[in-house]
Amino acid sequence: MKFSTRILMTFIVGSSFAILPASVRAAADDIITVDKVMTHDPVMIKEKDTYYLFATGQGISVMSSRDMKNWKFEPSVFSEAPQWAVELIDGYNGHTWAPDVIYHNGLYHLFYSCSAFGKNTSAIGHATTPTLDREDPRFKWTDHGMVIQSVPNRDSWNAIDPNIIIDEKGTPWMTFGSFWDGIKLVRLTDDLNAVAEPQEWYSISRRQRSVSVKSEDAGDGAVEAPFIMKHGEYYYLFVSFDYCCRGLKSDYKVAVGRSKDVRGPYLDRDGKSMEYGGGTIIVKGDKNWAGIGHCAAYKFEGKYYFIAHAYSVKNDGTPMLYVRTIKWTEDGWPIVG
């Protein structure tokens, strides 16, 4: 999600999916149906018979469901803002953006974005827990601090919107990025706590940026929110093009490319590299949704799912949870329907 339009998002998303217009307000028992879940930057994971949804919010917002249709509010991940981020990033107060969640080596790993409005003064943090079930005595989030940081006038990329993928050799990678010089991929240590040495960095998606834009400004190369999933022999890179966080004026859309190597290059259906502006659009706004983006893709119970937020036309541009199944063409391209 683009940092420079977060003021609107902060107002409507609040701390835990809870600041809702009357038309989508939760029932008194705090169980709400999927069509009324307001969210931003959602990701999902399943433990045993329960799905957990994590999203942008104060302390990172959490919901749970047994069926992906009826959702229950859960306490935020952090009751207090991570102190390392408060000290590092001027203006950060615990409102935490664009998480990602993955199960790896016996732990649930949560990655999250801390940033400053309008700058690439940003960092990605990492926390773990043995279980997501709050009734389990083992449940406890342990914060491991910063994984990576971007600094204005030093870095041409923005350290937000993380996503973790474990490749076929068991090597962990983190992709991330928003505007500036686009989407990056970096190899992590086996415990996912840091960038691995020797460092491996790759640029995997870019859009043209005006040469007149100052280096400290985001510019107009509107790509962010990467997510990589493996299907068959290919890795698929999903990214969001254009602009979120503008209500009915949002024009977010999702593009995809694929590669047999997690490091890329990722090519769209026309064979154009995403590193040079390529990307096949698979989801965009329509009469019901002003824009759709910041997606994730999963396989649950034998089915593939596309998860995103979308700006609801009937709810005056409110960002809502958008869940659709994914079908695959004969030549292996995703169709969201």
Greatest distance between any 2 Cα atoms in the chain: 56
CA atoms within 13 A on the CB side of 52: 24
Q: Which two tokens stand for residue 169?
A: 């050799």
SS3 content of the chain, % helix, strand, coil (to 5): 10, 45, 45
Closest CA to 60 of 76, 83, 79: 76
* Residue 289 β-bridge partners: 312
Answer yes or no: 155 catalytic.
no
- Write down the catalytic residue from 161, 181, 224, 275: 224
CA distances from 310 to 7, 55, 200 (A): 17, 13, 34
Answer yes or no: 41 catalytic.
yes
Element (H, E) at 223: strand 223-231
Q: Which two tokens stand for residue 46?
A: 């399943």
Report yes or no: 41 and 67 within 8 Å, Cβ to Cβ. Answer: no
Edge-to-edge, what's the strand order for the sheet holding 253-259? Answer: 223-231, 234-241, 253-259, 280-283
Closest CA to 112 of 272, 1, 202, 27: 1
The counts of H helices and E strands in the chain are 2, 22
- Write down the catalytic residue from 41, 74, 242, 275: 41
Q: Which residues are catalytic?
A: 41, 224
